[in-house]
Chains A and B, each alone.
Chain A
């Protein structure tokens, strides 16, 4: 997206203000909202993927080793993954900026 909404002119808008770039909200860094972040002890992880299923943001993906890890660009620090992780891999710690 070249221009921010503050810079867009009326001519930049698509007809009827239709948005033609699906999923364009992916550029929004919702990770700036959090006050706690998930930390991982992957020795316990069994790669069940339940944390990825239960994440309201949908930001948990498998890393190169196949373990499930939250994408901190989007992670809002709700802690649902830590709650649902029954092998207790995930621990929420306070976010220090």
Chain B
């Protein structure tokens, strides 16, 4: 049987640093994404966590799901707390304090903590150039408090604070493009990932943490409870988000865009929308609007990536001359 043996166990560490016994919903995509991300990182990491789903399900006094050094303080500040930890380690190392080598600092937060309330702290930490990684686990609403809209909620989605009714069709604004905001800070590495493509996610998280300086990873995490979709389809939803162009997978390394997956043709977004109850109410008009905008945004991204690949080709040609 050795010929067919063990694909995942060979590629992925066995240790669960986000241990089972946590209180996430049945089929939680965010818990899955967190688990995968930390499998890629190992033990030499300090985690600063924002208030949110992953913090609440994992840290009920007197227990903890985390097997890593972990600190939670408030909602909007993991980036600032991570800045403090990074600076402390730097100063203490300089002063000769015994510390493990190469410890990495990772700040994690949900979409609300990242693109809304925590935007300022992230912007500050990215601008100051601390050697840390910020990972946003995006389930597209304030799920922990009961599915309220955030600026990361997609256009047309129903949440409790953007309900569909006679006078409204749900979320009225387009999803805030947080990876672009991070990239605008000129940081060395930005990436998007999702748990439906686990090896891509793990490679990107590893790369982000290994890159010196600030890095940002945005991970789409399916929430079956909030998205009103069946619990066992979380990975399917996540893959459809990518394949329809709703959530493109790409990296930005020092300003150069690179697509992670080559999609010759995008699937129609109805494939993605129909599996989720939060889009069930949408009229054909609104769906057409969304389709048009998704195609447009995807095209813009492809342009950037094309330009990016041209410049890298130019660079490599220059080198070989």
Are chains A and B touching directly in their complex (CB below 8 angstroms)? yes
- What residues of chain A have their CB less than 8 Å away from a CB belonging to chain B? 1, 5, 8, 13, 17, 19, 21-30, 33-34, 46-50, 52-59, 62, 66, 71, 74, 76-80, 82-84, 92
Most B-side CB within 10 Å, residue of A1, A23, A52: A23
- Residues of A within 8 Å of B29, CB to CB, are 56
Instruction: List 10 contacting pairs A-B, 8 Å CB cutoff, sorted by A.
Output: A19-B63, A21-B64, A23-B19, A24-B64, A25-B63, A34-B26, A50-B7, A54-B32, A56-B234, A83-B232
Distance A8 CA – B231 CA, assembled complex (angstroms)? 36
Most A-side CB within 10 Å, residue of B7, B62, B63, B234: B62
Contact of A30 among B6, B12, B23 (CB under 8 A): B23
> Do A19 and B62 contact each other (CB < 8 Å), given the known contacts A76-B26, A79-B231?
yes
* B65-73, B110-118, B287-295 - interface stretch: B65-73
Is A74 a contact partner of B21 (Cβ separation < 8 A)? yes
Is B64 a contact partner of A19 (Cβ separation < 8 A)? yes
Is B9 a contact partner of A25 (Cβ separation < 8 A)? no
Apart from A26-B20, A56-B35, what 20 extra A-B contacts exist at CB < 8 Å? A5-B62, A19-B62, A24-B63, A25-B19, A25-B21, A25-B60, A26-B19, A28-B22, A29-B21, A47-B7, A50-B8, A53-B12, A53-B36, A56-B27, A56-B31, A58-B16, A58-B18, A74-B20, A74-B21, A78-B232
Distance A78 CA – B225 CA, assembled complex (angstroms)? 12
Specify the chain A residue showing the minimal Cβ separation from B231. Answer: A78
Chain B stretch 1-40: residues in CB contact (< 8 A) with chain A:
1, 4-9, 12, 16, 18-24, 26-29, 31-32, 35-36
Chain B stretch 51-100: residues in CB contact (< 8 A) with chain A:
58-68
Distance A24 CA – B58 CA, assembled complex (angstroms)? 10
Is A22 a contact partner of B66 (Cβ separation < 8 A)? yes
- Residues of A within 8 Å of B9, CB to CB, are 49, 52, 62
Distance A53 CA – B225 CA, assembled complex (angstroms)? 21
- Residues of A within 8 Å of B26, CB to CB, are 33-34, 76-78
Is B31 a contact partner of A57 (Cβ separation < 8 A)? yes
- Residues of A within 8 Å of B31, CB to CB, are 56-57
- Residues of A within 8 Å of B123, CB to CB, are none
Is A57 a contact partner of B20 (Cβ separation < 8 A)? yes
Distance A77 CA – B224 CA, assembled complex (angstroms)? 14
Distance A21 CA – B64 CA, assembled complex (angstroms)? 7
A94 shortest CB reach to chain B, Å: 14
Is B235 a contact partner of A84 (Cβ separation < 8 A)? yes
